């Protein structure tokens, strides 16, 4: 099933790699300072001369900078992808007589409106991903601070989800529900 927060795995991986690189650099610096490693003389100047490096060094630095910039851009773009990819579902029994197409976001719009009507629910977002043969539903439900999450989950799985399965003519939809809380007290007029 597609995760609700896809960039989290990439973030953890990048932070782990960066942490390991920094630990290795720090360990090398300490080992050199305390003369456990004798690869570099601690008393030697940082730059041994004032001569310009060879031309290839500038090209290598420029190439490394471009690669690092592209990796950073990829990481920034991954932060925007907070929901699973949705698809266009096709309902065909006889392609010769036509077909019916339904965008997954359109299919879950009434479902999310129904969830917003539940007591204690402030906001609801749903992403229906996968194909009709292998669907998955990711829900992000923002609740009020004093909401009963057990009751809300029970209403979702006992009332709303069966109606969605019936409307889409599906036997089962694996669901991942993420509950969030509003940061301030809200009052609903309805």
What is the pLDDT at residue 2?
45
Strand, helix or coil for residue 107: helix
pLDDT at 56: 94
Q: State the pairing for strand pair 88-91/100-103.
A: antiparallel
What pTM did the predictor assign?
0.54
Confidence of residue 189 (pLDDT cuts 50, 70, 90): very low
- Strand-strand pairing, 135-143 and 121-130: antiparallel
From the list 130, 140, 143, the residue with the least C-alpha distance to 172 is: 130
11-20, 43-52, 78-87: which is most confident: 11-20
Using pLDDT thresholds of 50, 70 and 90, give the confidence band for residue 161.
very high
pLDDT in tens, 81-104: 655 566 677 766 676 777 777 777
Give the closest residue to 81 by CA, choosing from 138, 41, 30: 138
Domains parsed from the chain with CATH numbers = 7-45+53-78 (no CATH), 101-181 (3.30.360.10)
Cβ partners under 8 Å of residue 55, min gap 6? none
- Both tokens of 172, joined, read 């089962």
What integer is the mean pLDDT of 3-11?
Answer: 65
């Amino acid at each position: 099933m597609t995760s609700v927060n896809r960039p989290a795995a990439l973030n953890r991986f990048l932070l782990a790699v960066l942490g390991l690189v920094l630990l290795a650099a720090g360990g090398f610096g300490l080992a050199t300072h305390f003369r456990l490693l004798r690869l570099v003389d601690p008393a030697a100047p940082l730059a041994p001369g004032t001569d310009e490096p060879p031309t290839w060094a500038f090209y290598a630095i420029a190439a490394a900078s471009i690669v690092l910039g592209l990796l950073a851009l990829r990481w920034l773009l991954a932060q925007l992808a907070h929901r699973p990819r949705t698809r266009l579902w096709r309902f065909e029994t006889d392609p010769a007589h036509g077909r019916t197409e339904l965008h997954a976001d359109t299919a879950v719009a009434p479902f999310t409106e129904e969830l917003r009507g539940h007591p204690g629910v402030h906001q609801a977002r749903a992403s229906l991903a996968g194909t009709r043969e292998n669907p998955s539903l990711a829900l992000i439900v923002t609740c009020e601070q004093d909401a009963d999450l057990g009751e809300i989950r029970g209403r979702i799985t006992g009332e709303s989800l069966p109606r969605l399965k019936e409307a889409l003519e599906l036997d089962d939809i694996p669901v991942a529900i993420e509950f969030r809380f509003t940061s301030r007290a809200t009052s609903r007029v309805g």
